[in-house]
Structure 1
Amino acid sequence: MKCINSQNAGKDLKCHSINATGSAAGRDAVEDRAATRIQAEIRGFLARRHLQQIKKEGNEAAKKIQAHIRGYLTRKHLDEVGIPHKHSTVAQLHNGLQEHV
């Protein structure tokens, strides 16, 4: 490692590792590869996290749709067999109020 004393009387001591050819270019290349690798890892991590979020939102939406369909089919079945249910009673009351107005 080669250290260069700056002009500020030893306050700033700059050190550079020097490869076998005697230049700091090798160090820069290693740092560039390391930075590229870190960036790739971060991008991969963020992409995986984004994909998990999309899957989670999709699953929640599917559950909500399925619940609404099950409720609709149940209400439809109850109407067919003539069993009153919460939604039919509310609809009848609402229709009755509109007729009196």
Structure 2
Amino acid sequence: MKCINSQNAGKDLKCHSINATGSAAGRDAVEDRAATRIQAEIRGFLARRHLQQIKKEGNEAAKKIQAHIRGYLTRKHLDEVGIPHKHSTVAQLHNGLQE
């Protein structure tokens, strides 16, 4: 292990393990593992957020389809019973009153 004094007159003493080629391999390996872990956490977070967005969009689409079907069935029922409904045109209402 090699310790290096910094320029702060010995206040900070930095120690690194140096291999035969002179690189601080141990520190690099720790940093690589830390970077990999951070990247994995971020990828997981982004994947979960993307999945939530897809589910939300699917739920919104299903709600719209259900609302349209309910409206259609209600208007169909009102037509069968003979009650004019909101989507009837003014001309249809006048024709119905004149008859």
TM-score (ref. length: structure 2) = 0.70
* Structure 1 residue 92: Cα displacement: 2.4
| Separation of aligned partners in 2, 1:61 and 1:25 | 53
Aligned length: 99
**Bigger mean CA offset, 42-51 vs 85-94:** 85-94
Deviation digits for residues 37-92 of structure 1, max 9, x if unmatched? 11011001000001001101110111011001100110011001111111124472
The CA deviation at 1:26 is: 1.5
* Residue 98 of structure 1: how far off its partner (Å): 17
- Contact between 1:2 and 1:17, CA under 8 Å: does it hold in 2? yes
Runs of at least 4 residues off by over 3 Å: 1-23, 93-99
1:56 paired with 2:60, answer: no
The answer to which structure has the higher helix fraction is: 1
Unaligned segments of structure 1, at least 5 residues: none
Q: Sequence identity, in percent? A: 100
Specify every segment of 5 or more residues in structure 2 that has no aligned partner in the other structure, as ranges: none
Root mean square deviation, CA, Å: 4.3
User: What is the Cα deviation at residue 14 of structure 1?
Assistant: 7.6
Range that drifts further, 72-81 or 16-25: 16-25
- Determine the C-alpha separation between the residues in 1 that align with 2:46 and 2:94: 51
On the 8 A contact 2:2/2:17 being kept in 1, the answer is yes
2-side partners of 1:17 and 1:69: how far apart?
A: 71
